[in-house]
Structure 1
């Protein structure tokens, strides 16, 4: 917004400010500063109105000590991202508008879910069927808009070091793929958000990877060098990715072990939805799949556990998602968290290696 105002009134290219890399850095610092400044105030407010985390009865016993910790910290994440993006991005950019729609839409679904948990004093909130229903309706609505406003959109780009720039036209299946990415990534982040700071850092790592891809895809020379499909004006998404990174780091200040606040569904659902949307807009679904390895592991652990229990009436893991399994093997929570961060970092690096040439 500030970029458009300066350009309109001063009719100038405003030198370094116009460069995307500087706006991205400012966006990151803005969201980070906002989170650090208002984080403690939000915690005080939530404690005042007793908006505390509801611990599920069948969860690890060590989590009962967390029941007096405020939740809905996602309000801090979303507001810091929103302020930063409104200030430093070009709001006329269609890709920025798509991601803002996801931020608001998925945020509302998460808000309803958290509200039900707090109001009825239960850890269930929205039932899985209703949550899936609302996420599905909104995802289909968004994907329809994207496909309607974008010509020749029904393809994905397969980027591998041994075979570069392979475009696969999958037709109407693209809508189904996009749906699974949006709904799957939002639920995966939600499942991973079970320990202090566990989910936010993988989101930051993936956002860094998507930020790099945004820079490359939106620059003709860079896209040509890396042999990646050029998408005009897509590099504006780097501003959004930077805002997520700054917001995530600022939230981690309060969410790191031992946590002073939890993000709740109002944070996890839109965060997953936003990074999924950015991956779809970049047409880098394959790389996103690799970078999201830690979220996929968490989700698969739940699916495997449920399926195996229905078939054999036995459990493979002591508890799922899988981070709880390691908790119950007497592995200290901070160790589980940091090791999962390392795994997430490795997956992000593996995804980014796909963009480099091998001669």
Structure 2
């Protein structure tokens, strides 16, 4: 929006040309989302407390979590509002990829909102029934996948990019829809499962979003993409503004979500953030690298799958509790130690993911 205004103002003052630069808009996107979250945060937390929108805590979980009961939740609304506002202000709104990501942010945010609303306002401990949550996640993911496949303008947009191998780039055909579906839905639920400790999910999300900004910039730049031997997809460069908005909003939210948390993001935040990371990985053709960089999300999800599978098949549990961050808590690790160590692991995995740009 402001990009269009700056273009118009250039006829009167050439200095406004600076706002046409992607790097400048990315910086402003980060700062705008960050400041919005920090400024609005205290008021939202107070409102959530007034409305008694508090977190419920499982009785069978770590005893240290009982003190978290009543902590304001649905703080993801703060994140999503900051992201959407920042992108609308600094993004190129003629770019269809920008609108695809915003649609995913809002769509999955609505699913999470309904789930949170039922749990914390209507006091329905089950929230949105799992099959309906999965149904609506699937509907949005399939619509996005079909849209991207039908509107692909270059074979590179539907090719599978395999990290570490220069010449391996098979065409997916209709399987592109299947992969896109699982990437979006899978990442959404993986981030949701990870969101169990103060700041545990938001920092890996920030790190992965920052890395995807680099991938988007390189993929959308003809010189960098040629040098790095990755597909050149022009429209993806504008996703840098979306990624940096996530970074800014995430940092602003972390200001209040760091241990001991003043607010939790709830499903409205975790489902939307995960799905957005997934769709952006699809757009820059880095689904496999997303699995590497989002390794913490993958480990958390696998721990739940293994725990449930083992209990149903053998009647025994593998971990003391799943997701795996609770396992380490029950082993006696203080919550901050679990959180920071998972952050460190996430940073390492993101760096490995970034290394795939050159190690090809």
Same fold (TM over 0.5): yes
Matches of 1:159 and 1:332, distance apart in 2: 36
State how many pairs are aligned: 356
Confirm or deny: 8 A CA contact 1:159 1:165 kept in the other structure: no
Please state if 1:3 is matched with 2:3: yes
- In the other structure, the counterpart of 2:173 is 171
Matches of 2:32 and 2:9, distance apart in 1: 23
- In the other structure, the counterpart of 1:98 is 100
How far off is 1:170 after superposition? Answer: 2.2
User: Superposition pairs for residues 1-359 of structure 1, below 5 Å?
Assistant: 1-11=1-11, 14-151=16-153, 152=155, 153-160=157-164, 163-357=165-359
How far off is 1:122 after superposition? Answer: 4.1
Confirm or deny: 8 A CA contact 2:76 2:266 kept in the other structure: yes
Q: Which runs of 5+ in 2 are unaligned?
A: none
How far off is 1:180 after superposition? Answer: 0.7
How far off is 1:181 after superposition? Answer: 0.5
How far off is 1:9 after superposition? Answer: 4.5
Matches of 2:15 and 2:162, distance apart in 1: 36
How far off is 1:16 after superposition? Answer: 2.5
How far off is 1:13 after superposition? Answer: 8.2
Matches of 2:211 and 2:19, distance apart in 1: 23
Confirm or deny: 8 A CA contact 2:191 2:274 kept in the other structure: yes
SS of equivalent residue, structure 2 residue 357: coil
* Greater Cα shift, 113-122 or 185-194: 113-122
Residues 13, 136 of structure 1: CA spacing in aligned structure 2 closer, same or farther, 3 A cutoff?
A: farther
Confirm or deny: 8 A CA contact 1:165 1:229 kept in the other structure: no
Q: TM-score, normalised by structure 2?
A: 0.96
Deviation string 1:86-122 (CA, Å, 9 cap, x unpaired) is: 1100111011000000011001000000001013324
Matches of 1:119 and 1:87, distance apart in 2: 32
Deviation string 1:122-168 (CA, Å, 9 cap, x unpaired) is: 443112222111101111111111112213443211121xx225211
Confirm or deny: 8 A CA contact 1:157 1:165 kept in the other structure: no
Matches of 2:167 and 2:275, distance apart in 1: 26
* Greater Cα shift, 11-20 or 248-257: 11-20
Q: TM-score, normalised by structure 1?
A: 0.96
Residues 244, 109 of structure 1: CA spacing in aligned structure 2 closer, same or farther, 3 A cutoff?
A: same
Confirm or deny: 8 A CA contact 2:6 2:19 kept in the other structure: no
SS of equivalent residue, structure 2 residue 47: helix
How far off is 1:221 after superposition? Answer: 0.6
SS of equivalent residue, structure 2 residue 150: helix
How far off is 1:357 after superposition? Answer: 4.2
Matches of 1:165 and 1:69, distance apart in 2: 51
SS of equivalent residue, structure 2 residue 253: helix
Q: Which runs of 5+ in 1 are unaligned?
A: none
Matches of 1:340 and 1:303, distance apart in 2: 19
SS of equivalent residue, structure 1 residue 157: coil
Residues 327, 357 of structure 1: CA spacing in aligned structure 2 closer, same or farther, 3 A cutoff?
A: closer
SS of equivalent residue, structure 1 residue 168: coil
Matches of 1:148 and 1:171, distance apart in 2: 11
How far off is 1:61 after superposition? Answer: 2.0
* Greater Cα shift, 138-147 or 77-86: 138-147
SS of equivalent residue, structure 1 residue 68: coil
Q: CA RMSD in A?
A: 1.3
